[in-house]
Amino acid sequence: MPSREPAALDRINAVTANFFFWQGLRWVPLGVALLVVSWSHGPSSPVPKSWESPLLIATMAVALAASAVIGRWYARSFGRVRGIPGQHARRTRTKWLVVYPALLVALLVDGIAKPSVLVSGITLAAAIEAYRRSTGGGRAHYIIASIAFAALTLAPTLGLTTPGAGAVNLLIGVLGATYTIGGLLDHRELTRVFPDVDDTDTPHSAIAGVGSSR
Amino acid sequence: MSAPFERLAELDRLVHEPARLAIMTALSACDRADFLYLQRLTGLSRGNLSSHLSKLEAAGLIAIEKEFVGKIPTTRVEPTRDGRAAIARHWKQLEKLRQATLEWTPDASGA
C-alpha cells in the first residue's frame, strides 16, 4: 500500500465533514466586499461620507447574493453532503459564545480606547487558527494569515497606521484580502482533493491517492 | 503470537477494498452524500461507483435513496448503523495492525 493512503483517507474524512467550509469561492465575494468597505472608509477614498453606509449595505447584499449563487454552483459541480446533526455543535457554541464576543470587544477597545497596539489583530490571529483547526486542518495559507494578523497587532506602534478608526479600517482591509485569497486557495485545495472523474467504465478505475479499485 | 501481516487476512475485504474504503470513510464523516459527491471524491466512473455502492447496499452497510430534486434525479447515499460500526471497526483494526507492525520483531514471533 502506498504510504500516502492514510493521509488521503484522512483528507477525504476532513473534507466531507467540513465540505461547506472548503467551498472557498463562497467567501470571495465577502472578501471583496470587505475590501470595498475598507477602501471607501479610507483616508484617500473619493466616496462622500453620506454614501458610506448605503455603499456598505449594497456591497454586503451583493456579496451575500453572489455567495448563494456560488453555493448552488458547488452543489451542481461537486454534489451535496449533509453533515451529521450536532457534529459541529461545539464549534458553533465556541464561535458564538467566545470568538465573536471576543472580536467585538477587541474592535470596541481598538475603536474607542485607541491603544498603541491593535488588540483585534491578535484576536483575529487566534480566531483564524481556531477556524483552520476546527474545519479540517491543512490549508497552510491560514497559518500565514494568522501570522500576518498577529504582526498587524504592532501596526500602530510601528507607525503604519493611526490608532483607532484608521487601524480598524486597515484590519478590515486585511481581513477582506484574507477572505479573498484564502477562499481562492481553499477552492484550489478542494479541487486537488477531487481527482478527475474517470468516465470510462473499466474495472481498473483508480482513486487518486488511494490506489486501485480492483 | 501471529505476525501482524497475518492479521491482514482478518480484515473485512468488503470494506477494505480501496474504492469502498474511500466511500465508507467519506460517508462516516457525514449524515448522507449524493452520488455526484462520491463520484467526484473517488474519481470513479458512474458504472464503477454504482457497482461498489450496490455491493455495500447488499451488505447492509449503506442505504440508497433515489428521488427528484425539481426535475433532476438524485441518488442519495446514507451509511446504515451497521455501516458506521463496520467502518469504525475497520479503522480500529487498521490502527491496531499498524501499531503491532511497529512493535513487531521477527525474533519475538519465531519467524
* B39 in contact with chain A, both atoms CB, cutoff 8 A: yes
* A9 in contact with chain B, both atoms CB, cutoff 8 A: yes
Which string of DSSP letters, residue by residue, matches A134-147?
HTTS--THHHHHHH
Whose CA is closest to A214, among B12, B13, B17?
B17
- The tens place of each residue's pLDDT in chain B, 111 residues long, gives 566 667 676 778 889 899 999 999 999 999 999 999 999 999 999 999 999 999 999 999 999 999 887 888 899 999 999 999 999 999 888 888 888 888 777 765 554
Judge: A13–B28 Cβ closer than 8 Å, yes or no. yes
Residue A19 phi, psi dihedral angles, 5° rounding: -55, -40
The set of residues, in sequence order, having a beta carbon less than 8 Å from that of B103 and lying 6+ positions away, is none
The domain spans of chain B are: 12-100
Q: Is the pLDDT of residue A201 over 80?
A: no
Judge: B39–A211 Cβ closer than 8 Å, yes or no. no
| Identity of the residue in A84, A206, A210 whose CB atom sits nearest the CB atom of B30 | A84
Distance from CA of residue A97 to its chain's centroid? 19
Task: Name the minimum distance, in Å, from the CA of B86 to any CA of chain A.
Answer: 16
Task: Name the minimum distance, in Å, from the CA of B46 to any CA of chain A.
Answer: 7
Q: Is the pLDDT of residue A205 over 50?
A: no
As a whole number, mean pLDDT of residues A22-38 equals 96
Q: What pTM was estimated for this model as a whole?
A: 0.81
* A13 in contact with chain B, both atoms CB, cutoff 8 A: yes
* Assembly ipTM: 0.82
Chain A to chain B Cβ contacts (< 8 Å) = 113
The domain made up of B12-100 is a member of CATH 1.10.10.10: yes
- Pull the grid cell for residue A18: 467540513
Burial B26-53 (b: 16+ CB within 10 A, else e): bbbbbebbbbbbbbbbbbbbeebbbebb
What's chain A's average pLDDT?
87
